[in-house]
Amino acid sequence: MKIQEFLEHHGIAGNPFAEEDAQNDTVFKRTCLETTFHPSWDKIYGDPSDPSTSIVFGEKGAGKTALKLQMVRQFDRHNTAAPDRRTFVVLYDDFNPFLDRFVSRVGPSRPVEKVLGQWKLWDHMDAILSLAVTQFVTEITDSASRRSAAKLTPPQARDLALLAACYDQSTGETFPARWRKLRSRTGYAAWLGLWPLVLGLVATAAFAAAVAFGVSRGNTGWLAAWWPWLLLAAAWGPWGVRRAKALWTAARIVRSMRTGNRTVGQLAKALARMPEVDLAGQPLPLLARSDDRYELLAKFQGILAAQGYSGMVVIVDRLDEPHLINGSAERMKQVIWPMLDNKFLKSPGMGFKLLLPVELYRFIEREDEQFNQRARLDKQNLVPSLEWSGETLYDIASTRVKAASVGSPPATLAQLFEPEVDQRRLLDGLRSLRVPRQLFKFLYRLLVAHCHAHTDEQPVYRIPLERFETVLAVFRRDQDAFDRGLAPR
């Protein structure tokens, strides 16, 4: 008996339990994304007009990525409804490029644990600024955003140009072309930055004209003297000094930004293009410390405010997936622990949504008083475990069956089973599965087992209690073995 035949008999198009990852789950995105929320949703999501921090711990399959997708959707809806009080959302869910650059600069031949032990808060801040600035510059350089870019004041246009020079990591076009387009859109011409080059070119042109005039008159003896060449060198002196300063500053920034991909030459050319008066006293990521990054974040928030963003939210997810971490709880701790800083997590106008593997919560339970005082997790809307009740899991399964139904009235979960498999028994069985991913795996396995037990000539369109109990017992045994690290699942 084919599964498709079984589902079509009940008016269901496609298997609603085939996908296990919310990122690729079309049923979830089509229906459950806006209808099925975890009981702790309000605490996690908060108020979009006043972003707050929340830290969530959940086992694999508990729905952390689903939470991320739901938050992104709700923030989008808020931004549409309140265009003057939007929330700028940054997805910090791909650590691979930042960790790869970090390791390549700190110690590519050293053990990974020792290298990750040097990961600091400012590395996170550099990574977040890179994502945020790249996303914002893309928005500004888009032709439809030209009018909103005009809202920036000259100091803000300068700040954005400086942030883009350091943090813009777009690969869609070359950095010089993108930076030039950004300056054009924001009105930051920075003509004063060209005067050393103009002076040198004018002096060179004058020198060449003098040489040509001397040759035509047969008077070239003065070229043997030292003073014409000294004057020419002096004319190029300001340009040389500017380039040397820019190269020195760029080298320090590139060395300090261990997660960045800007080259010294690219950054030096951009800094040399900006007038010295615009760079004087400005915070730059020159040193291995977080103070400068806090100031740069504040500048970026000011730019966002001018564009109608009342706050900024950073969503952290998929910490266990980078190949350098590979699911290791110790390595995850090394990377995320520097971020657990109350000053950072409570930055004005910012909210952090940390969706973390449950393995890390065991480390928190063993931390000392110094860590607790620095992190102040009691202020961070902490959710120790993303738990699901049997009733909630039943509702999720029912919603998915309804979403995949094409008949009228829509199919229900209960109609897939014999009457002896009543709701109470379903709730008791589903409760033991703990998380949505295991729910989907079990129901998929159950459908396969039932259909394989019957032929096309003698189909049975309801799952009996015996089949439900047998498959559930085997699945729970496999689940327990996986939890103990004894078997794959």
| Percent of the chain clearing pLDDT 90 (strictly above) | 63
pLDDT of residue 484: 72
pLDDT, mean of residues 13-22: 82
DSSP letters, 177-238, are HHHHHHHHHHT---GGGGHHHHHHHHHHHHHHHHHHHHHHHT--GGGGSSHHHHHHHHHHHH
List phi, psi (to 5°) of 33. -55, -35
What is the average pLDDT value for the chain, to the nearest integer? 89
**Closest to 288 in 3D by CA, of 251, 248, 262, 257:** 257
| Tens digit of each residue's pLDDT (9 = 90 or more) over 429-438 | 999 998 999 9
| Tens digit of each residue's pLDDT (9 = 90 or more) over 80-106 | 999 989 999 999 999 999 999 999 999
pLDDT of residue 149: 66
Element (H, E) at 121: helix 121-141
* Other residues' Cβ atoms within 10 Å of the Cβ of residue 120: 15
Please, are residues 283 and 296 in contact by the beta-carbon 8 Å criterion? yes
pLDDT, mean of residues 295-321: 95
pLDDT tier at 147, thresholds 50, 70, 90 = very low
Is a pLDDT exceeding 60 seen at residue 269?
yes
What contacts 252, CB < 8 A, 6 or more positions away?
A: 286, 287
pLDDT, mean of residues 238-255: 90
Output 366-374 pairs: Cβ under 8 A, ≥24 positions apart.
371/340, 374/340, 374/341, 374/342
| Tens digit of each residue's pLDDT (9 = 90 or more) over 387-424 | 899 999 999 899 889 988 888 889 999 999 999 999 99
Is a pLDDT exceeding 50 seen at residue 261?
yes
Of 144-148, 282-286, 334-338, 377-381, least confident by mean pLDDT is: 144-148
pLDDT of residue 192: 62
pLDDT of residue 142: 79
B/e letters for 8-33, b = 16+ CB within 10 Å, e = fewer, are eebbbeebbbebeebeebebbbebbb
Element (H, E) at 315: strand 309-316
pLDDT of residue 485: 66
Q: How many CA atoms lie within 13 A of 154 on its CB side?
A: 5
Please, are residues 414 and 447 in contact by the beta-carbon 8 Å criterion? no
Please tell me the distance from the alpha carbon of residue 161 to that of residue 361, in angstroms, as a whole number. 40
pLDDT tier at 28, thresholds 50, 70, 90 = confident
What contacts 194, CB < 8 A, 6 or more positions away?
A: 273
pLDDT of residue 240: 83
Is a pLDDT exceeding 90 seen at residue 26?
no
Tell me the one-letter amino acid at 98.
F
Whole-model pTM?
A: 0.88
Please, are residues 474 and 97 in contact by the beta-carbon 8 Å criterion? no
**Beta strand 54-58 with 382-383: parallel, antiparallel or unpaired?**
parallel
Domain residue extents for the chain: 3-11+388-483
| Tens digit of each residue's pLDDT (9 = 90 or more) over 183-201 | 888 888 766 666 677 777 7
Is a pLDDT exceeding 90 seen at residue 34?
no
Q: In this structure, what DSSP letter does residue 327 have? A: T
CA-angle at 263, arms to 262 and 265, nearest 5°: 130
pLDDT of residue 265: 93
